[in-house]
Amino acid sequence: MDRSKLYRRFRTLLIANRGEIACRVIRTARAMGLRTVAVYSEADRDATHVALADEAVLIGPARARDSYLNVERLIEAARKTGAEAVHPGYGFLSENAEFARACFDAGLVFVGPTAGMMTAMGSKSGSKALMEKAGVPLVPGYHGEAQDDATLAKAADKIGFPILVKASAGGGGRGMRIVRSAAELAPAIVSAKREAKAAFGDDRMLIERYVDNPRHIEVQIIGDSHGNLLSLFERECTLQRRHQKVIEEAPSPTLSPAQREIVCAAARKAAGAVNYVGAGTIEFVSDGKDVFFIEMNTRLQVEHPVTELITGIDLVEWQLRVAFGEALPLKQDEIKLNGHAVEARVYAENPTKNFMPSVGRISTWRLPAETGGLRIDAGYREGDSVSPYYDAMLAKMIAWAPTRDVAIDRLNRALEDSDVRGIVTNIPFLSALITHPKVRANAIDTGFIERELAALTQTASAPGELELCAAVAAIVNDEERATQGEASSPWQTFGWMPVGRRQRSFAFRVGHGPEQKITLNYGSGPSTLVIGERELAFAVVPKDAGFDLTLDGVKSSVAAVIDGHELYLRTRNGRFDLHWVDPFGGESEEHVGEDKIVAPLPGTVVAVLAEEGAKLEKGAPILTLEVMKMEQTLRAPFAGVLKTVKCKVGDIVQEGVELAVVEPSEE
Ligand code: ADP
Ligand code: ADP
Ligand code: MG
């Protein structure tokens, strides 16, 4: 086919995605002088990507399948705005051959490979057959057409347990089961097929030997329409949870230079087998010694920035140039590896509650400046809402340094210096993860997070002297700010009052913990704080997002957010959430839904596990909700009798709706 039908210069680009990736693509497109068009759903009217683009088109209701996955609406949006090209981002329709074809049929340039290349590489079985022919090493396994039980059982037996049963059409770690013995095989296939059918509409399975102590290694490749194909080194993404990447780095700390050359050559061979055009990733699993091909992703990856930081190449710029029909600007031997980069995915989720997604308004969004090797790709700003309809990734923090150790330290510092409030994030978890001694020593495999979960999700320590003093300083600081300019403000000359000595008492607690008391003495002479028997001299100098607190002659920086009586503090000892106990009483015990069986987020009831009238122990399961692709079981808050169940399987329930009533048993 005439190449110019597929790839040619354009001036207006539509980005068929949202959040962080849409923002990322817009930034480069704009720098290249292109006009950008965003698309958005009803839930995303005020989203950051909409604000960033030159134009934006509403494409439908919140549900992805009515908006971001709606091919017709997307093509229509391009037509309406005069867009000549479409960048699909990742996720959504990025690996959908029909979408690529629909763009082509509508006369649009699709920034990516052709529909044919996607189809060839889209199925794991099909791509493995291709790779086998091209001589790329595969994990021993079965990827044939026949899907009957006997064939699969025979294949599993021949490969030897443990094995991995995988959906051929799979993605995002779904439709995959580890099987450790012949007896487990049949039920695992049934459930993997069910999941695959629901998620991908295709339940064909393949079987692979489960590689011991698996590590995930992948190679970034990019091809142009002139037959040039380059590899841009590898990334290691071994730190995963449920087969999904959490931390990614480049280069891999596991490979020797000789091994690096072998994997990159294998990746070029793999992509060359389909004369690949565009950016793509060849994924391998490794036992630390050998690497085996597992799949190809025919799109940009979430973790592409680590490759950009070690090569100095802007991959989105190169994608767009390839889409213009240009030849790649460098030759293989001109691609140089410089230093080390590590990325952490920041999610709106609660690691201490089984990574339950967190939705709501982002009331505080303070991330460090992008200097000193730090890069932040964010899709959200202060005031934005995180909705339950989409992926909960908020941003990626990426640090570059000459060495891996320093890159880790820089990334950790950036995580520690971030304050996001209003929703729960995995930031403290990420920090604990990248500073874990075994991560630093690269003594990891893909099961690491699961094994170390308890240590990685430890909750903060109790507030000490510094935090109590900081809490008082934060309150006083806040009151000062609020009353600034008012002649009557008692805090105008904080720390000094013209008449006499005064006292003000405060009490704080964490959760349902004990109250901790502290008294502020002010008035004539220097102010002091008294905790128990200790009296401390102190000074406060307000600054952006907090203050410097000098205590016992040591000055340290404190970040603070006050929301009514809830105080958030970040000191050198970590993050603290304190409740300021109201000095005027009125502290009724709050029942913030904890005693009620309510939907924590909008979701679907997938199982009812107890019957009305049943006697329940505390913690007994009552029903299971599916919320944002994850199952969440709601349990009895105390021992009692299940009085009513207000929903049934299949119900779609809104956030905060009461689903069942438990009556406490009388003691
Ligand atoms: P997906 O399309 O869901 O990304 P992959 O085939 O890439 O599916 O597998 C996801 C993850 O599962 C990999 O990153 C790797 O950690 C693990 N994995 C895949 N295949 C194997 C295998 N044969 N042995 C051990 N781990 C594997
Ligand atoms: P990789 O294959 O690079 O590890 P993933 O498979 O996690 O990355 O990336 C694809 C996933 O990205 C999709 O499954 C989808 O859930 C998610 N996704 C799609 N769009 C966005 C977006 N705008 N921001 C964050 N995540 C997204
Ligand atoms: Mg994969």
DSSP for 68-122 reads: TT-HHHHHHHHHHHT--EEE--SSTTTT-HHHHHHHHHTTPEESS--HHHHHHHH
Q: Which ligand is nearest to the Cα of residue 91, counting in written order? A: 2
| Pocket lined around ligand 1, Cβ cut-off 6 Å | 139, 164, 166, 170-173, 208, 210-211, 214, 216, 240, 243, 283, 285, 294-295, 446
Q: Dihedrals φ, ψ of 181, to 5°?
A: -150, 160
**Token reading at 210:** 């489960």
- pLDDT value for 497: 46
- Hey, which of 39, 90, 95 would you mutate to test ligand 2's pocket, going by the most ligand atoms within 8 Å of its Cβ? 90
**pLDDT tens-place string over residues 117-173:** 999 998 899 999 999 988 899 999 999 999 999 999 999 999 999 999 999 998 888
| Protein residue closest via CA to atom 14 of ligand 1 | 216
List domains and CATH numbers for the chain: 3-111 (3.40.50.20), 140-209 (3.30.1490.20), 215-456 (3.30.470.20), 465-580 (3.30.700), 596-664 (2.40.50.100)
| Protein residue closest via CA to atom 2 of ligand 1 | 171
Residue 302 CA to residue 283 CA, distance in Å, equals 14
Q: Is 651:605 a contact under the CB 8 Å cutoff?
A: yes
Asked whether the predicted pLDDT for residue 508 surpasses 50, the reply is: yes
**pLDDT tens-place string over residues 301-311:** 999 999 999 99
**Token reading at 272:** 């060359």
Alpha-carbon Rg of the chain, whole angstroms? 28
- pLDDT value for 584: 65
Over residues 400-429, mean pLDDT: 98
**pLDDT tens-place string over residues 58-85:** 999 999 999 999 999 999 999 999 999 9
119 CA distance to ligand 1 middle (Å) = 20
Percent of the chain exceeding pLDDT 90 equals 77
Q: Is 620:610 a contact under the CB 8 Å cutoff?
A: yes
607 band by pLDDT with thresholds 50, 70 and 90: confident
CA–chain centroid gap for 214, Å, is: 22
330 CA distance to ligand 1 middle (Å) = 32
**pLDDT tens-place string over residues 175-229:** 999 999 999 999 999 999 999 998 888 999 999 999 989 999 999 999 999 999 9
Q: Is 577:565 a contact under the CB 8 Å cutoff?
A: no
| Residue 153 host element (H or E) | helix 149-159
Catalytic sites, residue numbers: 299
Provide long-range contacts, Cβ within 8 A and 24+ apart, for 533-538: 534/465, 536/465, 536/469, 538/469, 538/473
80 CA distance to ligand 3 middle (Å) = 35
**pLDDT tens-place string over residues 434-473:** 999 999 999 999 999 999 999 999 876 789 999 999 999 9
Asked whether the predicted pLDDT for residue 594 surpasses 70, the reply is: no
Asked whether the predicted pLDDT for residue 617 surpasses 90, the reply is: no
**pLDDT tens-place string over residues 538-570:** 999 999 899 999 998 899 999 999 988 899 999
**pLDDT tens-place string over residues 9-35:** 999 999 999 999 999 999 999 999 999
